[in-house]
Structure 1
Amino acid sequence: MTGRFPIEDVSPAVSCGRHPAKAVVGELVPVSARAYREGHDALGCNVVWLGPDGRARPFTRMRPGEPGQDRWLATITPDAVGEWTFTVEAFSDPYLTWQNAVTKKIAAGQGPAELANDLAEGVRVLTAARDLVPAADRRRVDAAVAALRDETGELPRRVGPALDLADLLWDHPVRELVTTGDEYRIWVDRERALFSAWYEFFPRSEGAMGATVDAPARSGTFATAAQRLPGVAAMGFDVLYLPPIHPIGRVNRKGPNNSLTPGPDDVGSPWAIGAAEGGHDTIHPDLGTPEDFRDFVAAAAEQGLEVALDLALQCAPDHPWVTAHPEWFTTRADGSIAYAENPPKKYQDIYPLNFDNDPEGIRAEVLRVVLHWVGEGVKIFRVDNPHTKPVQFWEWLIAEVKKVDPDVLFLAEAFTRPAMMHGLGKVGFTQSYTYFTWRTTAAEMREYCEELVAAADYMRPNFWPNTPDILHESLQHGGPPMFKIRAVLAALLSPSWGMYAGFELFEHVARPGAEEYLDNEKYELRPRDWAGAQAHGRSLAPFIATLNRIRRDNPALRRLRNLVFHDIDNPALLCWSKHDPATGNTVIVVCSFDSRTVQWGNTTLDMPALGFDWHERFSVHDELTGTSYDWGQRNAVRLDPYLQPAHVLTVRRPVHHVPDVPTATPPAELTVEDVPDDLSGGTAPTAPTKDDPRWTS
């Protein structure tokens, strides 16, 4: 810091400025600092921010925050991908000092004679300001100077023109004793880094054929998988994530459900990477050729889908690296190479890399592999288990890749300790998997999301209801309504969310005693009858398409920092909103966590967070049902898990003021037949008379 005014607690600053904060193009990035000075003279603050091209952006003045706290606030909006820098400056503001003194003295009854020195000071300040304001406004400044010098005029007429310049001189201040704070960095990504909808499928399952008496099982290919692209695009996803597409090891290959006894036709786990055909830069021959992969990427792009690849830095025992670089692995006391273990789990088909053995050689090879796929048109990587590799390695790799192509994004699959998850975000990972799956009550979800918002400067969450490894018991036993509930929570709480194929078909059968799918697709081909399921009403695809359409249509849902929770008097319900100041778009969501019974609740909305005064009323439109309601601070809601487990409300226009809806108390031992019309404005749905027919074991 250079100067005489203290500038402290600057934000965003990650690890005291060691790492850049994160933002995306067009995002409103809040900047704040604590700055103060001695005495009563006025202090001003501004942000100096430079784009990746080194060019300074327009002057951004900071406004004071809560009175008495000396906190200064501003918002900047980056408009290009790359590394930005910003600096907070503090300065003495002689115009504000003069304005405060003159208005107080006039209020105290002082006349022109007593204010002679103040009037002369005003002339000095405005003379200095003349060259700072736009040319079109200089006549106003000249007129104000002339009025201050006019000793024949009455005092109000002498000072009035100068006081009327407050807004102009706020934007173009006279700055004296300027103090320059430390420089901080912000890495700005493209929009998809923050706002994305992911869909995961195994291309080998699409178009696959099961084994018969006369023929072995047949893998799907990139050509057959391309036939699934329109269905994925129709659900509104924009990122298509493929598990590893490389050759699969034959040594210690796993059979169905992770068994150690594979049959001759078993396909093995794609995460056991490498065989005689090649390693991480090679395509499994069953899927096709490099040309077939390029055609698949192009076909996906035509559907509005960007292909993401898995980056799993591990090897099958017959990976070429094992022969060429045995020093890259851990050798046990008996001379064998250690396979991966997470007791009691054993992964005999995978050798982890040892980054302490020849780290330079490993770095160079991994960078080569990543840039190979970038050259093939891949700009997104889902990184498998990054928490089992050195954090410094990732910091180096991501920085090196972004030097070549700043649009490349990295998603960390790190279900691990909070410190490690946050650390990976700080060193450069674009997004991160989270604990969303295991937050199954409204209170848990609210607390966790508030933690994520607090870390929004460096960690971007991606919420997944399921993965090939994770089938939470809530989905195993919650019935079809729970699939809707988890989709609403994932899609509308987080700007980025994703799901693994089969979620839309309500797949819910787990391996006994485990939190993963029975007949897991990681170890076997799993073709699905997508068209048949949708034709017979056994698919959640239309509902998912609606959620993704709502996300696209509402800019407020594209951000994380604007997530605000509102009180509701039923612990089974969660109420939140997102507001976008740039467009005025506001979305309010009320979601049930109960997939079995009807739940009632009464909201107490934080009206200023929605852009309203406490007494105002407004119109909301439910994007799931098409119904409109008249809402205010307090609103009664009723959510039926089978028919409508959530309200997704877009705020329309203010309506006439009427008294708030009274708090509703459902009758004792409420049954669905007893429920009157929905107090939020709709009609009470009828109760299902039997279990949902889509729910089958």
Structure 2
Amino acid sequence: MEGRARIAIEGVHPQIDCGRFAVQRVTGDEMAVQADIFSDGHEEVVAMLLYRRQGDEVWQETQMQRLENDRWQGSFKLGEPGFYEYSLLGWVDHFRTWQRDLQKRFEAGQDVSVDLKIGSSILSQAAKEAKEPDDAKLRQAVEALNQEPELEGAVALGLDSRLADLVSTCCARGLATRYHKDLVVRVDRKKALFSSWYELFPRSLGGAEGRHGTLKDCIAILPDIAELGFDVLYLPPIHPIGTSKRKGKANQVEAEPGDPGSPWAIGSPEGGHKSIHPELGTLEDFQALVLEADRHGIEIALDIAFQCSPDHPYLKEHPEWFLWRPDGTVQYAENPPKKYQDIVPFNFETPQWQELWEELKSIFFFWMDRGVRIFRVDNPHTKPFPMWEWIIAKAREKDPNVIFLAEAFTRQKIMYRLAKLGFSQSYSYFAWRNSKRELTEYLTELTRSDAKEFMRPNFWPNTPDILTEYLQYGGRAAFMIRVTLAATLSSNFGIYGPAFELCIPTAEAAGSEEYKDAEKYEIRPWDRKGPGNIRELISKLNRIRREYSALQETCNVQFLESDSDSVLFFVKTSGKPGASLLVAVNLDPFRVRSAKLRLPLGLLGVLSGQSYLLHDLLNGERSIWQGEWASVTLDPQLAPAGIFRLSTWLRKESDFDYYL
């Protein structure tokens, strides 16, 4: 360390675990960086934010601005997906210190003739260090300063801010302090931040007669998915399903003839993770689905589950990748007391782990070569952390536009670790957060703690595995409430489609979150436009999300005052004028609730005493209000929520016509 370097750089934010992991952002974001940067003594300090796209030789820089208490901030614009680096540089600026003291002495009427000579000396030294054409400009400044006959004129020349910028830009950095670590920000495409997911089982699209659906049937339903406003169609595993130990309906241990089995029991003599279930179609059909979906503004997301059925070719070709019991049978999956006899996990502690990793990476690459850029990864928390970090990095090298969703309903620290390792989105605890307090505390954790720097939640009110008690007992109103919360609180949300559209509430048994007649184990033809469906609400929510940027991010939520514990009230802010939205939701699916809501008029640009218009984007109603309190009545059976756009109007005398 250079003993004459006097700058300290501390408290750099954002950084994750002292820079061990990359911060997450999306294309077009302004990357703001703050740090404490200070020196001993009283000299002026200059701080620079350095940045570059990873792999570039040249660092770019922007001067940081002092906030207060030696806190500095700078920012730079993030470009296309990939990795960017940033760091900080600070130094004592003797020329700016000289300018500051010169001005004080001159204003105090002191003799500054010697001070002007000192300034000239600093500039002369800077000219020797500078490169063309800056050296010539500095020599001209020295000459002008020395030849200026009037003291006042010489002082004015010396205090020129452009001169200080020139000195800082080209030289005066010999004793600068560089932050000890180059930090990294990972930039994803915007869909990582804003997406609407729809999940369905293609095999259930065959019609009421129970025919096995195909990928071509999936193509036929794309216009309807697009009409609902979804831009990601997520398909559970589409690979061949094993017959050995196949599960029957309702997860019965013994399958009956004709039972299709679970799509997560992957692999049969027809192939494994790089094959299509024969009854679904062919690889050509799949690629046709990807192309047609793109024409409708939809991307196909594939489920990647690193597990096998006992019939998977891997067990014969690579028995060393699995655990074998003393009786010669392979160890199937268990989560005692639950048993999954139709699923065989990989042994990630195998001595041949490198070959296993390479093969699993190749599964992602295989589907990426067929146009897939979004993957929902099944249970990543049961696989090694280092493997995910490696695979995701390799996939991003192949294409920075790839997106990974972690389906990890597990302990918080494990979910956080997966996000840090590179997962673009994460399932969350949203499904089980029902009360006003629970929702407020959970969203505050996600959007106000360091979690916001690395974890993007994706809110799902249901999945094929999760039918919460709230949905089981709350009726149709509960489904309307939960989808509204998911679509407005989080910029990423999804539904397990047909069951949610139709408000299916029936669980396998009391106390269970499994669906009765679960589609995981049988073909379920759906009349998706059947009685009681909430398609209109879902379509409206997705339309509002597309039209209003406030709903296209998550961390812009602010919870507001409501005098009812059953009415959640919040604002989603936007930098665009008039684009912020107010949302009020009745969390009680059984009763009509009224509440007084306190509006943040200053935040929304409303002047004191000014009237404003509240337009409910869900039902079209408009009302004029004045003052910071408004009242709402929310009927869960009819309209459990309101999404309000606030607008104001100002009139001047010139706006009116006067008649005599």
Q: Same fold (TM over 0.5)?
A: yes
The reply on whether 1:16 has 2:15 as its aligned counterpart is no
SS in 2 for 1:198: strand
Aligned-partner Cα distance in 2 for 1:174–1:470: 62
- Which residue does the alignment assign to 1:413? 407
How much does 1:73 deviate? 2.0
Query: 1:644: which partner in 2?
Result: 639
Matches within 5 A, 1:69-84: 70-84=70-84
Following superposition of structure 1 onto structure 2, how do residues 378-397 of structure 1 map, counting pairs within 5 Å? 378-397=372-391
Counterpart of 1:62, as a letter, is M
Find the aligned partners of 1:645 and 1:46 in 2 and give their Cα distance. 50
- Structure-2 separation of matches of 1:125 and 1:434: 59
| Structure 1 position 118, deviation (Å) | 5.1
Provide the rounded CA distance (Å) in 1 between the counterparts of 2:640 and 2:74. 39
Aligned to 2:348: 355
- 1:488 aligns with 484
Counterparts of 1:121 and 1:392, CA distance in 2: 58
SS in 1 for 2:360: helix
Letter of the 1:527 counterpart = P
Say whether 1:601 aligns with 2:595: yes
Cα distance change on mapping 1:601 and 1:553 into 2, 3 Å: same
1:295 counterpart (283, 288, 297):
288
- How far off is 1:186 after superposition? 1.2
Q: By how many angstroms is 1:257 displaced?
A: 1.1
State the 1:64 CA deviation.
2.7
> How far apart are 1:413 and its partner, in Å?
0.3
Taking only the aligned residue pairs, the percentage that are identical comes to 41
Take 1:343 and 1:285, find their aligned partners in 2: how far apart are those partners? 33
State the shift of 1:643 in Å: 3.4
2:231 to 227, 238, 253: 238
Aligned to 2:544: 550
1:59 & 1:585 partners in 2: Cα distance? 33
Gaps of 5+ in 2: 653-660
CA–CA distance in structure 2, aligned partners of residues 542 and 423 of structure 1 = 38
Distance change >3 Å, CA 209–CA 265, structure 1 → 2 = farther
Q: Is the 8 Å Cα contact of residues 28 and 77 (structure 2) preserved in structure 1?
A: yes
- By how many angstroms is 1:261 displaced? 2.9
2: distance between equivalents of 1:144 and 1:487?
69
In the TM superposition, 1:395-474 aligns within 5 A as 395-453=389-447, 454=449, 455-474=451-470
Q: Which residue of 2 aligns with 1:179?
A: 177
Structure-2 change in CA distance of 1:615 and 1:57 (3 Å) = farther
Conserved 8 A contact 1:123-1:149: no
- Code of the residue aligned with 1:71 in structure 2: it is R
- The superposition leaves residues 145-198 of structure 1 with CA deviations (integer Å, 9 ceiling, x where unpaired) of 96997564769x954994776998899798544221121111111111121111
| Cα gap change, 1:114 to 1:483, in 2 (>3 Å) | farther
Match of 1:60 in 2: 62
> Aligned equivalents of 1:305 and 1:145: distance in 2?
66
2:90 maps to: 90
Equivalent residues of 1:132, 1:172 under 8 A apart: no
User: Alpha carbons of 1:53 and 1:582: their partners in 2 closer, same or farther (altered >3 Å)?
Assistant: farther
- Cα deviation for residue 441 of structure 1 reads 1.1
Instruction: Tell me the alpha carbon deviations over residues 192-225 of structure 1, each in whole angstroms, 9 at most, x when there is no partner.
Output: 1121111100011112454xxxxxx420111112
CA distance in 2, matches of 1:132, 1:568: 62
State the Cα deviation string for residues 485-507 of structure 1 (Å, max 9, x = none): 21121112112111111212111
**Partners of 2:6 and 2:92 within 8 A in 1:** no
The gaps in structure 1 that reach 5 residues or longer are 211-216, 658-697
SS where residue 530 of structure 1 aligns?
coil
Check if 1:572 corresponds to 2:566. yes
Distance in 2 separating the partners of 1:148 and 1:541:
79
Q: 1:340 & 1:528 partners in 2: Cα distance? A: 31
Amino acid at match of 1:508: P
- Contact 1:267/1:525 (CA < 8 Å) preserved in 2? yes
Q: Would you say the 8 A contact 1:339–1:348 is kept in 2?
A: yes
Q: How big is the shift at 1:28?
A: 2.6
Matches within 5 A, 1:273-352: 273-352=266-345
- Indicate conservation of the 8 Å contact 1:278/1:320, yes or no: yes
> Within the alignment, does 1:478 sit opposite 2:474 as a pair?
yes
Instruction: Output one character per residue of 1:114-163: Cα deviation in whole Å (capped at 9) or x when no partner.
Output: 4445555666778969x999999x99x999996997564769x9549947
The range that moved more, 637-646 or 313-322, is 637-646
What do you get for the CA RMSD once the two structures are aligned? 3.5
Other-structure match for 1:687? none
The answer for the alignment partner of 2:657 in structure 1 is none
Q: Could you tell me whether the CA contact under 8 Å between 2:48 and 2:63 is conserved in 1? A: yes
- For residues 182 and 42 of structure 2, the distance between their equivalents in structure 1, rounded to whole angstroms, comes to 28
- Residues 633 and 422 of structure 1: is their aligned pair in 2 closer, same or farther, counting only changes over 3 Å? farther
> Contact conserved, 2:598 with 2:630, CA < 8 A, in 1?
no
In the TM superposition, residue 616 of structure 1 has moved relative to its aligned partner by 7.8
1:48–1:86 Cα contact (<8 Å) kept: yes
Whether 1:267 aligns to 2:260 is yes
The CA distance in 2 between the partners of 1:281 and 1:42, in whole Å, is 62
In the alignment, structure 1 residue 202 sits paired with structure 2 residue 195: no
Query: Residue 401 of structure 2 aligns to a residue in which SS?
Result: coil
> Normalized against structure 2, the TM-score is what?
0.88
Q: How many residues align?
A: 640
How far is the alpha carbon of 1:250 from its aligned partner?
Answer: 0.6
The verdict on how the C-alpha distance between 1:265 and 1:48 changes in structure 2, with shifts beyond 3 A counting, is same
Q: Which residue of 2 aligns with 1:527?
A: 525
- Following TM superposition, by how much is the alpha carbon of 1:57 offset from its aligned partner in structure 2, in angstroms? 7.1
Q: What's the counterpart of residue 676 of structure 1?
A: none
How far apart are 1:481 and its partner, in Å?
Answer: 2.2
Q: 1:243 to 1:167 in 2, by over 3 A?
A: farther
The whole-number CA distance in structure 1 between the counterparts of 2:118 and 2:533 is 75
Give yes or no for contact 1:30–1:76 (8 Å, CA) kept in 2: yes
User: One-letter code of the match for 1:526?
Assistant: R
Query: Match for residue 512 of structure 1?
Result: 509
User: Secondary structure of 1:204's match?
Assistant: helix
Residue deviations 1:569-588 (CA, integer Å, cap 9, x gap):
33222233333437784233
Go from structure 1 to structure 2 and tell me whether the alpha carbon gap of 1:398 and 1:616 turns closer, same or farther (over 3 Å shift). farther
Question: 1:419-443: CA deviations, max 9, x gaps?
Answer: 1101111111111101011111121
Hey, what does 1:680 align to over in structure 2? none
Cα distance 1:209–1:484, how it changes in 2: closer, same or farther (>3 A)? closer
Question: What are the Cα deviations for residues 386-428 of structure 1, in whole angstroms up to 9, with x where unaligned?
Answer: 1111111111111122222222111110000111101111111
Cα separation, partners in 2 of 1:402 and 1:334, compared to 1, 3 Å: same
Q: Which amino acid aligns with 2:314?
A: W
Q: Which amino acid aligns with 1:319?
A: H
Offset of residue 83 of structure 1: 1.2
Tell me the residue number matched to 2:584.
590
* Mapped contact 1:206–1:221 kept (Cα < 8 A): yes
Q: TM-score, normalised on structure 1?
A: 0.83
Give the alignment partner of residue 258 of structure 1, picking from 244, 251, 255. 251
Partner of 1:660: none
In structure 2, distance between residues paired with 1:48 and 1:152: 41
Contact 1:567 1:603 in 2 (8 A): yes
How far residue 25 of structure 1 moved from its aligned partner, in angstroms, is: 0.6
Cα contact 2:96–2:164 (8 A) shared by 1: no
Contact 1:14 1:21 (C-alpha < 8 Å) held by counterparts: yes
Preserved CA contact (<8 Å) 2:566 2:593:
yes
Partners of 1:169 and 1:591 lie apart in 2 by 56
SS across alignment from 2:470: helix
Deviates more, 1:238-247 or 1:621-630: 621-630
Task: Please give the secondary structure, in 1, of the residue aligned with 2:40.
Answer: coil
Query: Within 1, Cα distance between the matches of 2:170 and 2:27?
Result: 28
2:550 & 2:626 partners in 1: Cα distance?
A: 20
| Compared CA separation, residues 333 and 613, structure 1 to 2 (3 A) | farther
Secondary structure of the residue that 1:240 maps to in structure 2? strand
The alpha-carbon deviation at position 635 of structure 1 amounts to: 2.3
2:655 aligned residue: none
Deviation by residue 1:615-634 (Cα, 9 ceiling, x = unmatched): 98765543223345567883
Give, in whole Å, the separation in 2 of the partners of 1:13 and 1:290.
Answer: 43
